[in-house]
Chain A
Amino acid sequence: MSDGLDPQVKRVLDGEAEFTTLPPPLRAQAAAARRVLDAVDRAPVQLSAGFEARVMAAVRDRAARRGPVRRAVAWLVAPREVRLVVRPWVTGALAAAAAVAIVVAWPAPDAPLAAVGSDSVAVRFVLHAPGARAVTVAGTFNQWDATVTPLVTSDGDLWVATLVLPRGEHQYAFVVDGAEWVPDPAAPTVDDGFGRRNSVLAVNGGRAL
């Protein structure tokens, strides 16, 4: 084909021969080709800011969606809601700050292809935080990254996220509007070593304690 490049030129473009090895008549052809190749856009591509959060939301959804597994302990067959209510003796000041968290726990299945192990629990974190613009949860299960685990809201008051947590002792806190670290007021807390409190959630044998 008369429009085809000479094979020697192609080898140069492939990086398998030097330009200087080309006979002079072919050098113009190679130079023109090289010019085109140099114009290829090699700029890195920037993905949108919420990309990772969208991926992880879909991943968590997959992890949590599988059906319940039969276990020896009868009561674990169906999803179970554990209501942790603000303790009655908590003062009004704290109660004003945003209060009830409901943890819904059900056992993770052990389907052969599932990435969720048999000792994991899907836990729904819920925070009543009216007026907040953004709520995330940060803890030992996400390397304390306050940006990667957003809660979502449909009414602006109740913020929700479902995470799958493996066995172990987890500590966490909610982060409101990117700046305010709020322990879960209805969960047990421990001193975080920095003058604040962390919420704790221990997962053992496929169950949240």
Chain B
Amino acid sequence: MRPAAVLTAVALAGAPLLGAQTDTRSRLEGRVPPAIVVVVDSIIADATAHALPTEALIQKALEGGAKGVAGDRIVAAVQQLSARLAAAAEAIAGAGAGRSAAAIEAGAFALTAGLQPDDVRTLAGAAPDAVIVLRVAGTLSAIGVPRGETVALVVSTAQREGGDLTTLPQAVEAAMTRGASPAQAARLAQGGAGDRGAQPHGPPPDRPTRPKPKRP
């Protein structure tokens, strides 16, 4: 196409929106109450001004709208998440780790999953790639592994030669299905035993029997 024709075609297709602010509002409009759009937009503008990633904030607002949550609760949740992003950013910076958007988001995820800013700082400093460390730690915490065991397991694996962080959640869950508590399972995994051999304490609770689901 000739350049002039391309310009015409682009104009017809609609010029891209200018500015992140319009972006946020247009994504939220029709999904959350109008009064809430304004408030959330300002929270997001604030986060942007502090160089924090904002996609998770928009997602949280969309989630609240989808779930039919009251406007003030949506605002509270977005504010809480914004605070977590800020805390994660500070913790990561405090560890001397790279303050990438992905790392901050992973840090906020870890905080949401139950870890504390001190944990995030410790974890971020444990390995060159803070993102994977924080994602795995957040997942372990979401599984139910207590803070102390989560940090110990992840840090020791990250610093061990040949340690594979990505296998930790499954190793922990495998031990849990055999009756270990989350904390026990994490300690087993840290021992490098993973699902090899070690016995949980106490009698295993009753496990519901269930037929294997049919493969579709």
Q: Do A and B touch each other in the complex, judged by CB within 8 A?
A: yes
Pick 7 A–B contacts, CB within 8 A, sort by A: A86-B210, A88-B179, A144-B62, A192-B63, A198-B63, A200-B109, A202-B139
Interface size on B, residues (CB 8 A): 50
B63, A209: Cβ atoms closer than 8 Å: no
Residues of A within 8 A of B (CB): 73, 82, 84-90, 92, 95, 99-100, 102, 126, 128, 138, 140, 143-146, 152-155, 157-158, 160, 167-169, 171, 181, 188-194, 196, 198, 200, 202, 204-205, 207, 209
Residues of B within 8 A of A (CB): 27, 56, 59-60, 62-67, 69, 73-74, 76-77, 80-81, 102, 105-106, 109, 112-114, 131-132, 135-136, 138-139, 142-144, 164, 166, 169-170, 173, 176-177, 179, 204-208, 210, 213-214, 216
Q: A202 to chain B: which residues have CB within 8 Å?
A: 109, 135-136, 138-139
Q: How far is the CA of A205 from the CA of B80 in the complex (A)?
A: 29
Contact A169–B105 (Cβ < 8 Å): yes
Q: Contact between A143 and B135 (Cβ–Cβ < 8 Å)?
A: no
Residues of A close to B80: CB separation below 8 A:
193
Question: Given A189-B142, A200-B138: A102 and B213 within 8 A (CB)?
Answer: yes
Residues of A within 8 A of B56 (CB): 140
Contact of A95 among B27, B64, B208, B214 (CB under 8 A): B208
Give the shortest distance, in Å, between B40 (CB) and chain A (any CB): 13
Minimal Cβ-Cβ distance residue in A for B70: A194
